[in-house]
């Protein structure tokens, strides 16, 4: 057999999966049910879920590594990898058992392959490749950020196009979602993500020693303590005030906070690692500055979209998703911007903002519905720790140099 004829056979097989009716992709017992298993291991959550084509969650399972990494002061990739390896099979088996679905009844297996921690992604992909080959099921590779962006469509009808702000421990970006796999990237983080910044500030403040915060993530601890803090006591500068684009930078803010902590430690005569008397105020000021930075960049993105006709004139929508979207203060800040600009703000419930198998399965349902990225179980797929989202429009946004009117973020605790 020539190399050319071999390639033709591979392409022909892929096309068969792409265009085969949904019913024939599943077994006779579950014909036309369009069931998808989703698997998520991009960071420190091992998640799996089985969904049907309507978005009904038939069964799910999630193993969180939060407490382990909280004790070690941050995510250690090799530890995350080992915990994924130890729990992967059990989590998938639990999701299948709770759904009452056999592997042969699945239309496809959807798995996060990008972006994320390389060692974590590798575990999910390795398991999925064995699983689809054993059970002869189609495979759908998933872009983690696309999944976050589309989760809201599982819960209610949200037509394309819409603007999306994705904020998490590893990512922050603004994009226009024009289709299931069609995005225009308007802005992204230039250094670290907001969730990472909040976690680092919490560690520097030793909030794990606070009686109310010992079991909380850094971001959760900041949000909790900020409710009783005075955000005006520390005047942290909102980042990138004179850069007229939609990108984000949080490292400078973290340095501002670190210097304020050092100063207060000296004033109170305590060593690093000791809880300061003003932790609530520092938490409130940090959270407010993060929210303000997100709000201002989102405001500019909205004005850019309006100027370039990227959103519908009737009922334009901003979707806020990702782990940091669980923060109610940040949601309030974004609601002020959407009310000012005439957009409708939508946020998935907090349990769907953090990483989980449900959002991966739903992304698989959406792609399966449109016949996209449906691969043969024997096709080799690689994971990608760093993967951009969609078409990069950041240069065009910066060239527009849009200056926004002042909007006061008067947010109640």
| Contact between residue 42 and residue 355 where contact means Cβ atoms under 8 Å apart | yes
* Domains of the chain, each with CATH number or no CATH: 25-156+353-388 (3.30.420.40), 162-351+392-400 (3.30.420.40)
Q: Please provide the size of the chain in residues.
A: 413
Q: Is the pLDDT of residue 4 over 50?
A: no
Per-residue pLDDT tens digits for 185-199:
999 999 999 999 999
Angle 368-370-373 from CA coordinates, rounded to 5°: 60
Looking at residue 108, what is its pLDDT?
Answer: 97
Neighbours of 323 (CB within 10 A): 24
The set of residues, in sequence order, having a beta carbon less than 8 Å from that of 96 and lying 6+ positions away, is 37, 48, 50, 59, 102, 103
Looking at residue 5, what is its pLDDT?
Answer: 39
Q: Is the pLDDT of residue 233 over 70?
A: yes
Looking at residue 222, what is its pLDDT?
Answer: 98
For residues 292-298, give the mean pLDDT: 97
Looking at residue 30, what is its pLDDT?
Answer: 37
Regarding beta strands 36-40 and 108-114, do their DSSP bridges make them parallel or antiparallel, or are they unpaired?
Answer: parallel
What gap in Å lies between CA 307 and CA 309, rounded to an integer?
6
Cα 137 to chain centroid, rounded: 26
Looking at residue 170, what is its pLDDT?
Answer: 85
Which residues are 110's β-sheet partners? 38, 140
Looking at residue 412, what is its pLDDT?
Answer: 67
Share of the chain above pLDDT 70, in %: 92
Per-residue pLDDT tens digits for 327-342:
999 999 999 999 999 9
Helix, coil or strand: residue 294 = helix
Per-residue pLDDT tens digits for 130-149:
999 999 999 999 999 999 99
For residues 25-54, give the mean pLDDT: 80
Task: Give start and end residues of each alpha helix (H) in 308-403.
Answer: 328-341, 350-353, 357-370, 394-400
Per-residue pLDDT tens digits for 42-75:
998 999 999 999 999 999 999 998 888 878 778 8
What gap in Å lies between CA 212 and CA 335, rounded to an integer?
28
Hunting for tokens 């560690």 — which residue is that?
A: 203
For residues 273-277, give the mean pLDDT: 94
Looking at residue 182, what is its pLDDT?
Answer: 97
**Position 405 confidence tier, pLDDT thresholds 50, 70, 90:** confident
Per-residue pLDDT tens digits for 277-289:
999 999 999 999 9
Among 233, 212, 232, 234, CA closest to 222: 212
| Contact between residue 409 and residue 333 where contact means Cβ atoms under 8 Å apart | yes
């Amino acid at each position: 057999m020539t190399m050319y004829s071999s390639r033709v056979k591979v392409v022909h097989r892929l096309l068969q999966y792409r265009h085969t009716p949904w019913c024939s992709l599943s077994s006779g017992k579950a014909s036309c049910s369009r069931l998808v298993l989703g698997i998520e291991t991009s960071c420190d959550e091992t998640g799996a879920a089985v969904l049907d084509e309507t978005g009904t969650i038939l069964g799910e399972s999630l193993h969180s590594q939060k407490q382990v990494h909280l004790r070690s002061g941050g995510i250690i990739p090799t530890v995350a990898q080992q915990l994924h390896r130890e729990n992967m099979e059990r989590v998938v088996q639990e999701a299948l058992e709770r759904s009452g679905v056999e592997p042969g009844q699945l239309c496809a297996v959807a798995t996060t392959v990008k972006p994320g921690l390389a060692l974590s992604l590798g575990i999910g992909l390795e398991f999925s490749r064995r699983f689809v080959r054993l059970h002869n099921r189609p495979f759908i590779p998933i872009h983690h950020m696309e999944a976050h962006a589309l989760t809201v469509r599982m819960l209610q009808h949200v037509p394309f196009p819409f603007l999306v702000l994705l904020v998490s421990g590893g990512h922050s970006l603004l994009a226009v979602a024009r289709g299931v796999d069609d995005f225009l990237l308007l802005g992204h983080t230039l250094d670290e993500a907001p969730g990472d910044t909040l976690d680092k500030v919490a560690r520097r403040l030793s909030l794990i020693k606070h009686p109310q915060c010992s079991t909380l993530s850094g971001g959760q601890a900041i949000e909790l303590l900020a409710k009783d803090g005075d955000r005006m006591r520390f005047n942290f500068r909102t980042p990138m005030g004179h850069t007229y684009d939609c990108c984000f930078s949080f490292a400078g803010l973290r340095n501002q906070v670190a210097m304020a902590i050092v100063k207060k430690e000296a004033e109170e005569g305590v060593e690093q690692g000791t809880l300061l008397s003003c932790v609530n105020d520092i938490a409130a000021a940090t959270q407010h500055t993060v929210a303000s930075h997100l709000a201002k960049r989102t405001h500019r993105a909205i004005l850019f979209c309006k100027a370039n006709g990227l959103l519908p004139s009737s009922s334009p929508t901003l979707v806020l998703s990702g782990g940091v979207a669980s923060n109610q203060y940040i949601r309030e800040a974004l609601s002020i911007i959407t009310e000012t600009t005439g957009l409708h703000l939508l946020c998935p419930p907090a349990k769907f903002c953090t990483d989980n198998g449900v959002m991966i399965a739903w992304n698989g349902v959406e792609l399966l519905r449109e016949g996209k990225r449906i691969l043969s179980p024997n096709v080799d797929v690689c994971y990608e720790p760093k993967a951009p989202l969609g078409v990069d429009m950041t240069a065009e946004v910066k060239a527009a140099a849009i200056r926004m009117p002042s909007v006061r973020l008067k947010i109640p605790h």
